[in-house]
Copies of this chain bind each other. A is one copy, B any other.
Amino acid sequence: MPVERLQRALEYSFVRAELLQQALTHRSYGSPHNERLEFLGDSVLNCVIASLLYERFPALREGELSRLRASLVRQDTLAEISASLNFGDYLRLGEGELKSGGFRRPSILADGLEAVIGAIYLDNGFDAARKSIERLFLPLLSRIDPKASAKDAKTELQELLQARRLPLPLYTLLATRGEAHSQEFEVECVIASLGVRATGIGSSRRNAEQAAARAAVEQVASQ
């Protein structure tokens, strides 16, 4: 398959075509192959995804950002993106791999995609790689619901306390402010046994409880 089609799909055109060729060459095919580029591309991908998540979700904590990143850069996700590019059609594989369907194997597809990212980074710098990654991952990034992630705060707090064999926290609605369509709720979360008292504000009682739980988790964790 001519690589022009792949370059169009990536919306990136290589200055040094040999870098793309190397990125598409599996070690079973010969040298120079894509393993070093994969090492580089994996790092660039991790960095760009971290940066995109950091900017998109200013309210998420480090642990949640790490979890999201791990889900985005894992082999299955990369293989899925590769499949949408018909990436397997462009790979150069050795006889054995070809016969055993290597162009469909998730590890080979994911590694190849990372190698292409590394090649773009070498060809045109970090920002070019960032643009391509953003384009490839936009559908996945748009699917992320930060509230779904924040939802875990109450569960997290509960598990934290249960692990210490402590009684569950008590949530109290302290105040409701504003008009019907833009109400603000303030909730207090008290863990009497630890002397922890945290408040949270949200656009619904549920969100305020989550925010309070989040603040309480931070207090408990730093005790």
**Which of A's residues lie within 8 Å of B, judged by CB?**
27-28, 31, 35-36, 38-40, 42-44, 46-47, 49-51, 54, 60-62, 65-66, 69, 94, 121, 125-127, 130, 218, 222
Contact = CB atoms under 8 A, between A and B. Distances in A.
Contacts of A60: 36
Given A27-B222, A126-B126, A126-B127, A39 B35 contact: no
A36 B51 contact: no
Nearest to A65: B39
Q: How often does this chain occur in the complex, in copies?
A: 2
Contact of A47 (B27, B31, B43, B125): B43
Contacts of A222: 27-28, 94
Given A27-B222, A218-B27, A62 B47 contact: no
Residue with the highest number of chain B CB atoms closer than 10 Å, among A38, A40, A218: A40
Nearest to A127: B126
Contacts of A49: 43
Given A27-B218, A51-B121, A62 B46 contact: no
A24 B50 CA distance: 20
B62 A51 contact: no
**Most chain B Cβ neighbours within 10 Å, of A42, A43, A127:** A43
A43 B69 CA distance: 11
A38 to B, nearest CB: 7
Contacts of A40: 50-51, 54
Contacts of A44: 47, 50-51
A125 B126 CA distance: 10
A62 B50 contact: no
Contact of A43 (B50, B127, B130): B50
Contacts of A127: 125-126
Given A46-B46, A47-B46, A54 B27 contact: no
